[in-house]
Amino acid sequence: MSLPANSAAAGSTAPKAIIGVSLKMYFGYARTMDYCREVAGIALGHPAVQGGDIELFVLPVLPALPEAARILGPAGAATGAQNIFWEDEGAYTGEVGGKLVAELGGRYAEIGHAERRMFGENDETIRLKTAAAYRSGLIPVLCVGAFAAVSPEEAIAQCTAEIDAALNRAASLGPAGRTIVAFEPQWAIGAPEPATPGYISAVITGLDAHLRALPGQEDSRVIYGGSAGPGLITQLDSAVAGLFLGRFAHDPAALKTILDETAARLAEAEVPA
């Protein structure tokens, strides 16, 4: 049974942290299923996931989505697509609409990743796809990030402009909804190390305040992606809601470590000073 779009676990309140994983195109079908089964076992045994404190999702290759949703859903995790088209249906050979992703059990749609720009995606494409995600009842995972290693102030200015462009355009096409923004500086994607904790915290503090001040985005949050892995979440400011993980979470043991670190961070934040 699939989970509600805005819930990490059935009956939970708003999550306090978000951990997402993109499998990109690294795994075949059989390995994807093995990964999902291992992650489901981890999620089932993790109090923070089961209690709804951590919202956990995995974005597999599209042909694996229905079975991934069947495996992960009962474990309190969710799935989605790494890309959607901006129209729901029609004569668009090879494309996949958000309505179909939702029908297959997906709850999220990654939009605007830097790697997608290699295929000619631009700001207008991202705006249309964000609107399509909302229209289909999917939570957009909107990727933003400066190409060069600019100052935190410059990164905030560039990324807020990207957020506004996508969300304002989407709002003009229909009702908006909750959004997860992934701050992914393009220079950190695929790098040996992520951006520094101080840099990440400074940028996301600004982005989070901006995002949640927008109409209808009070429950939206900003997470960090770009060579993120174990050890990073413990070094970040509380404004950073979580991580969007790639290759450093393709080992389920590493993902469990990150979930444990995230839960410990939440528990520490709740201890009175």
Non-local (6+) Cβ contacts of 172 within 8 A are: none
What one-character-per-residue DSSP string does 234-248 give?
A: GGS-TT--EEEESGG
Distance between CA atoms of residues 273 and 160, nearest Å: 33
Extended beta strands in the chain, E state: 17-22, 54-59, 78-81, 108-111, 139-144, 180-183, 221-225, 242-245
Is 184 designated active site? yes
| Encoded amino acid at 119, one letter | F
Select which of 113, 124, 250, 268 is catalytic. Answer: 113
Distance between CA atoms of residues 145 and 186, nearest Å: 6
Distance between CA atoms of residues 220 and 130, nearest Å: 14
Is 250 designated active site? no
- Residues 86/131, Cβ–Cβ less than 8 Å: yes
What are the structure tokens assigned to 13, written together?
Answer: 């309140």
Non-local (6+) Cβ contacts of 102 within 8 A are: 136, 137, 138
Catalytic site positions: 113, 184
